[in-house]
Amino acid sequence: MTTLLKARSSSRMFKKCHTEVHTPVLLSQVCEMLSPNPGDVIWDLTVGAAGHAATLLRLAQPNGFLLGIDRDPEIAEIAVKNLEAAGFIRGKDFEILVSRFSEIASIDFPNEISKTPDIILADLGVSSLQFDEAARGFSFRNDGPLNMQMNADEKGSRNAADIIANCSLSELEHIFRTYGEEKWSRRIASVIVEQRQIKPILTTRSLRETVASAVPRKAWPQNVDVATRVFQALRIAVNNELGELDTMLEQLPALLKKNGSRAGIISFHSLEDRRVKQAFRAMTIGCICPKELPCCVCGHTAEFKLLSSGGLTADKQEVENNPRSRSARLRGTIRIKNADQDLGTLKNASHNVTNDMQSWHSQE
């Protein structure tokens, strides 16, 4: 459900966070790849603390407009404050909505101008503000309740403690292996099931200690904590992050309607990046003829092209200044053919292919 963020007198969480400097990852790469022009309409589907959004909106002046979306109402409130602090006027220069980005195709737009974007950006990383707030339960660095929900008010949502307490051994193993690519998923799941029969696992610290006890010390990874992959897997499962991403990627071609409209997506692990890479490549396909045809008869040409041959990553200086950027990868695509023309061309192409296939097989 999409809601217009309403101003509140105070925030239940992050009371001081909005005054802190937020460092968005790959900012220069995002600006160079997406190249905002004056008057552009920008959709930031994961607006966060508005680090990317404020810079892109500034580059789109005069007359640029930003539609910012975030699943987390607390984070969305911070985005409003930061954009206003940067001199932008809500309603005139930007609007912020609380929504999952999978719902972008059906949201209630605040005005006509915001309906057709020139730029779409999604930063798939969890906000550092969420990681730093122990009460949100995203990180084992500070002990807190085992939560990990982006938005606890979403219908049917469950937190990480619910999953740990109620999923079977095989379900937990599947979560850890599929979403965390954890080699010790079976053993970790088994130890969790044993431990929860003795005492409920309700905090981030207790889960981290349980995971650590399940993995032989000599098998602990050198560069990350032994529980990192399990926490990633739980967060993905709690918030259905990969399902959200898949839905957004399916909708993306129809959302980029204008010639020259472009999208950039920042991913932080292989499960995300693989999906983005494959989706963007599929959007650039030209010929749609079956492989058995000896030559192209469809006449269909590509609707999009990639904005880089591979994903863009942080340079050494950025990684030193912002270690979180180490795993970030930016991919982009741009529409090169009008969307309405493409629909007619695709229908005609499909008809031509069918006729040519029938004719080709009749001559065999």
How confident is the model over 297-356, as pLDDT tens digits? 887 788 999 999 889 999 999 999 998 899 999 999 999 977 554 444 434 444 443 444
Q: What domains can you pick out in the chain, each with its CATH number? A: 3-123+242-283+303-336 (3.40.50.150), 130-239 (1.10.150.170)
Cα dist. 148→23, 51, 116, 140, 224 in Å? Answer: 22, 22, 33, 11, 19
- Give the chain's mean pLDDT: 87
Q: Which residues are within 8 A (CB) of 87 and not within 5 positions of it... i.e. 6 or more apart? A: none
> What's the confidence (pLDDT) of residue 73?
93
Which pTM value belongs to this model?
0.85
Q: Which residues are within 8 A (CB) of 160 and not within 5 positions of it... i.e. 6 or more apart? A: 137, 146, 147, 148, 207, 234, 235, 238
**Percent of the chain, pLDDT > 90?**
70
> What's the confidence (pLDDT) of residue 318?
95
> Can you give the C-alpha Rg of the chain in angstroms?
23
Cis peptide before 253 (omega within 30 of 0): no
> Which among 120, 20, 116, 103 has a CA at the least distance from the CA of 68?
120
How confident is the model over 13-39, as pLDDT tens digits? 444 444 444 689 999 999 999 999 999
* CA 201 – CA 206 distance, rounded (Å): 6
> What's the confidence (pLDDT) of residue 39?
97
> What's the confidence (pLDDT) of residue 354?
41
Mean pLDDT of 238-261: 96
> Which among 266, 305, 330 has a CA at the least distance from the CA of 101?
266
